A and B are shown apart, each in its own frame.
Chain A
Amino acid sequence: MEQKIAVQIDDLTVAYNYKPVLWDIDLTVPEGVLMAIVGPNGAGKSTLIKTILGIIKPIAGSVSIYGEAYSKQRKLVAYVPQKGSVDWDFPTTALDVVMMGTYGSLGWIRRPGQKEKKIALEAMEKVGMLAYKARQISQLSGGQQQRVFLARALAQDASIYFMDEPLQGVDATTEIAIINILKELRKSGKTVIVVHHDLQTVPEYFDWVTFLNVKKIATGPVKEIFNDDNLTQTYGINYKVAVNK
């Protein structure tokens, strides 16, 4: 059976000023994988996601989502930004933030109604945040904030999910809860692409992995390519040898 291609990236180059952040990236992500993007700080992981989503303009190269430009396929794509990217003291409630996930399909000017509220509440239930729907977002813990962001993406009801470090700074319980949701997404045929930092958990959580350090080092099934060779090439040190015994 031939697998459909969810995301196709060709010759992508991004630079801030003169310094290239991503260099000539070619990447193919098949549909239905749960993929980790790993690499050291400054490797361009977040930049890659932001470029795919059109937040950052590349110098060269192209991105296609199911064979078309992102601008035509927006409704197939959901995004979970880093939770530190917004001000959580903003005067609004958790439900309100999750509801924002429906704004894209509403389009300009139309206000969210009962239908959108129902979608948002269902998403909150999936991430176990229903009890906190009326809570001020400033009153949420870090893990709860992350779940709210995840719920907001779920409310987008997309086919491809991009997540920027969704496990950053969350406790073990939340981590498991989030990973279970991601695995469920994959089971229902969605493609999930996650910037991830904890190398130990890659084989356990993900079935696909991309090694990135400005250039793409490798991409493929975890079972085949998650090895010392690629880790060393990506991080510049022999990971296993470098850890003090």
Chain B
Amino acid sequence: MSITEYFNLLWTDYTLRTITLGTAVLGAICGMLGSFAVLRKQSLLGDAISHAALPGIALAFLITGAKDSGVLLMGALVSGLVGTFWIRGITNKTHLKSDTALGLILSVFFGFGMLLLTFIQKQPNANQAGLDKYLFGQAATLLESDVLLMIIITAISLFVMLLFWKEFKILLFDAEYTKTLGFNTKFIDVLITFLIVLAIVLGLQTVGVVLMSAILLAPAAAARQWTNNLSIMILLAAIIGAVSGVLGTAISASQNNLSTGPVIVLVAGVFVLFSFIFSPTRGILFREIRLRKNRADMKLFKTLQFMYGIALEHENISHPHAIRILNNFQGYTRGSLQKLENEGWITIQGQQWAMTAKGYKQAQEIYNQKSSQ
């Protein structure tokens, strides 16, 4: 199946539509809430939470014996939250830094989860297969009810975010100040963290424990490159997340059913790479171009300044001078003189140059700019 075939099938094939809608909604909520994680410099928290969710999935299965995704995700939610609050506890109560706490919880919970998974697999129970799909995710197992749950939770998150927009924003920027204004920062903090945990748990079935943090962070990191406005950044991150979800599903479905989670993550990674290079303000490419242009401009200005100095010594600023006069100043070339003439700052006649009134004014302004800064 080619990608175009896939998009044609989308209108008729129910399963395909469910999966695509699911990954799109997932990408959107992760992009939205991932922005908060990135701006709080808690990028690794997502990784720790998703890994911490694994034992919850296994325990939920062991206790209930059911493989219903709702039950398993509830287990994931509980153990994800336990992991999160342990991380906070470790950072608050010990000398350990947050990266240590994150690493500890991530690996200990994940190790425990893997242990439980292997234990479950040894059980003489036909029902046990398929839990390992939560490791790398399997979009194909998404049911309509799963997608509906995603949509409901996304809507709730959106509502909460809009309701507490002011509080979220000020907490992200300056938590201590927020506290002095009388806001319960702990409540706002727990609310944001809870939403992030929810988004992660929602994504486990599709993207899996191991890759989940990428879908949380990549859209936000890409979006940050394009805007300096918080609301636009979050909107953009949601769009990039959704598009990554859809494209990832399309590619994986059309290429021999490649595993969906990794493809979605790779698509999001391409967005990040593209943004890092091509963003007009923060991108590497345009920054380099601007740097080079500035350097070239500076050289021109230096030559112009030198000419200004010579012109000042005559009553008529447009008095012609020999080009040779510039010889004791190395900053000019035939090309740069041509550029100066193109700008209308000087005129060249044979072996002589003369400054124009416009060039005179420009040279004065360079000087003023420097002294006023």
Contact = CB atoms under 8 A, between A and B. Distances in A.
Given A91-B224, A109-B163, A55 B170 contact: no
Interface in B216-251: 224, 227-230, 233
A55 B230 contact: no
B176 A91 contact: no
B68 to A, nearest CB: 37
Interface string A70-82: 0100100101010
Given A50-B176, A100-B177, A74 B182 contact: yes
B174 A85 contact: yes
A104 interface: yes
A103 B39 contact: no
B41 interface: yes
B228 A81 contact: no
B183 A85 contact: no
Contacts of A90: 39, 172-173, 230
Contacts of A74: 180-182
Among A77, A86, A111, A112, max chain B CB count under 10 A is at A86
Given A109-B163, A111-B165, A111-B166, A92 B179 contact: no
Interface in B137-183: 163-167, 169-170, 172-174, 176-183
A110 to B, nearest CB: 8
A8 to B, nearest CB: 18
A121 interface: no
Interface in A122-161: 136, 138, 156
Contacts of B179: 53-55
A106 B166 contact: yes
A9 interface: no
Main secondary structure of the interface of B (DSSP, over half): helix
Interface in A97-111: 97, 100, 103-104, 106-111
Nearest to A88: B173
Among A17, A74, A87, max chain B CB count under 10 A is at A87
A91 B174 contact: no
Contacts of B177: 79, 81, 100
Nearest to B95: A17
Interface in B272-318: none
B176 A97 contact: no
A140 to B, nearest CB: 12
Interface in B162-207: 163-167, 169-170, 172-174, 176-183
Interface in A192-224: none
Contacts of B163: 109
A112 B166 contact: yes
Contacts of B164: 109
Interface string B104-132: 00000000000000000000000000000
Contact of A100 (B39, B41, B170, B229): B170
A24 B273 CA distance: 55
Interface residues of B, number: 27
A74 to B, nearest CB: 5
Contact of A55 (B167, B169, B176, B227): B176
A90 B39 CA distance: 7
Given A103-B166, A108-B167, A138-B228, A92 B173 contact: yes
Given A86-B173, A100-B170, A111-B166, A91 B229 contact: yes
B167 A104 contact: no
Contacts of A111: 165-166
Contact of A54 (B166, B170, B180): B180
A100 B171 CA distance: 10
Given A90-B39, A103-B170, A109-B163, A81 B229 contact: no
A107 B176 CA distance: 16
Contact of A53 (B165, B180, B224): B180
A91 B228 contact: yes
Among B173, B177, B233, max chain A CB count under 10 A is at B177
Among B95, B179, B228, max chain A CB count under 10 A is at B228
A53 B228 CA distance: 31
Contact of B174 (A93, A100, A104, A156): A100
Contacts of B169: 92
A240 to B, nearest CB: 37
Interface in B42-84: none
Interface of A: 17, 50, 53-55, 71, 74, 77, 79, 81, 85-87, 90-93, 97, 100, 103-104, 106-112, 136, 138, 156
Given A74-B182, A91-B228, 8 more contacts: A54-B180, A55-B179, A79-B180, A81-B174, A91-B224, A92-B228, A100-B173, A104-B180
Interface of B: 39, 41, 95, 163-167, 169-170, 172-174, 176-183, 224, 227-230, 233
